[in-house]
Amino acid sequence: MRIHETTLSGVKVLELKLYEDNRGYFKEIHRNAWSDDLGLVSDFVQDNISMSYQGTIRGLHYQKEKPQAKLIQCISGCILDVAVDLRKKSSTFGQYYSTVLSEKNHKQLYIPEGFAHGFSVLSEQAIVHYKCSRYHDNASERGIRWDDPLIHIDWEISKPILSEKDRRLPLFSSLKEEDIFL
Whether 81 maps to a domain, the answer reads: yes
Give how many domains the chain has, as a whole number. Answer: 1
Please pick, among 96, 97, 110, 130, the residue that the annotation labels catalytic.
130
Whether 180 maps to a domain, the answer reads no
Residue 123 lies in a domain: yes
Stretches in the chain below the pLDDT threshold 70: 37, 42
Is 19 among the residues known to form the active site?
Answer: no
Q: What is the C-alpha separation between 71 and 44, in angstroms, rounded?
A: 9
131, 42 contact by CB (below 8 A): no
Domain containing residue 128: 2-171
Task: Check which CATH number belongs to the domain holding 81 and give it.
Answer: 2.60.120.10
Active site residue 135: no
pLDDT computed for residue 1 by the predictor? 82
Residue 179: its pLDDT value, please?
Answer: 86
Q: How many CA atoms lie within 13 A of 10 on its CB side?
A: 19
Which pTM was predicted?
A: 0.94
